[in-house]
Amino acid sequence: MTTWYKIKKQIQAALNIIKDNPVLDTAAKSALKSVPYLGDFLANLYDSTGGSETERTEKILEILQKIEGFHAQQFKQLTSMLSENRETLIRDSQALDTILDKANETFEWLRKIDLGQVELQESNKQVKEILHDMKGNLQELSEDAYEFDFEIAAEQLVFFVKISRLLEQSYEIFFYQNGLARQLTNSLISRGHEIEAGQGFDDILRKLHYAMNAEEEEIFASIRTITDDMRGVNVNVKTLLKTNKNSFELLPELGNLYEHFSWWNAKYELLKDNPDMCLVYVGVRQQKPFPTGIDGLLAQKVEKLQEKTRLDMLSEQS
């Protein structure tokens, strides 16, 4: 398994080398080919595209810079579309621009939410479609919470990969849910409701639930549904960590992650029967924040264990 953190690192490394080589030399092509899932495709594209070598290099740089700005879910979407249209793309580089734009639509849509340029109903519909596609995969990842043998490096690798994937998917869901919460808050503000400084979306929406119109109430219900779905996932992550507390010795931040999820689940249980609750946040006020940088630390663990076990290429070549 190659994490999004590792992929971005390799994209950044390729960008730095290629910027210094307007005409791709052996080292630059090697750096390009090292980009997981896309490297060989981009190298073939460079060789088969018309124009001068400098123009072709600029095109590759433009592609890499766009991809570097993606989120993990966008990258998965991109690799899927590239796989389905590989031969067409090699023959027609302009088709790649269309696919990059398609994969970038999610980001642009979320940016428009921040600017208040997307209608509430449109946002709600798109989030439901996105989360429906993600939900099954996330539930499957979180089902097994058996005890791993941390004396065996391969078992360590499987455990850290599982936690990494769960957190990556959980963050994606949080990202979309947070976008809806932000837009719902903006809608309430635009109708003249005052917000106390320093409040989080969870408190804002709970206190102003009584004042929501029918359209806002529908978004509120969608946010609550996501929270209820996430409760099951969070319980499973907590159980996986509780069953494997030996992992805390290998990565102490996992102990902080366990506490964060324990507090989140406790808060959910206290509020679950409250009809005014749609979001559950646990963080600074409880002094149990989600551990900063844990995705990078997990990625480093996975990378080292892949090298140690020589199981690093299974997902890319099998």
pLDDT tens series, the chain, 318 aa: 456 667 777 888 888 888 877 677 777 778 888 887 777 777 777 776 667 777 778 878 888 887 777 766 667 767 766 666 666 565 555 555 655 655 555 444 444 444 344 455 555 565 666 556 555 555 555 556 678 999 999 999 999 988 888 887 777 778 778 888 988 998 999 999 988 877 889 999 999 999 999 989 988 998 998 898 888 888 888 889 999 999 999 999 999 999 999 999 999 999 999 999 999 998 777 788 888 888 888 988 988 898 888 875 444 443
What's the pTM? 0.64
Sign of the dihedral through C-alpha 24, 25, 28, 29: positive
Dump the DSSP string for 205-230. Answer: HHHTGGG--HHHHHHHHHHHHHHHHH
Task: Please report, for residues 43, 186, 195, 222, 269, the alpha-carbon distance to residue 204 in angstroms, rounded to integers and kept in the order given.
Answer: 50, 11, 7, 16, 19
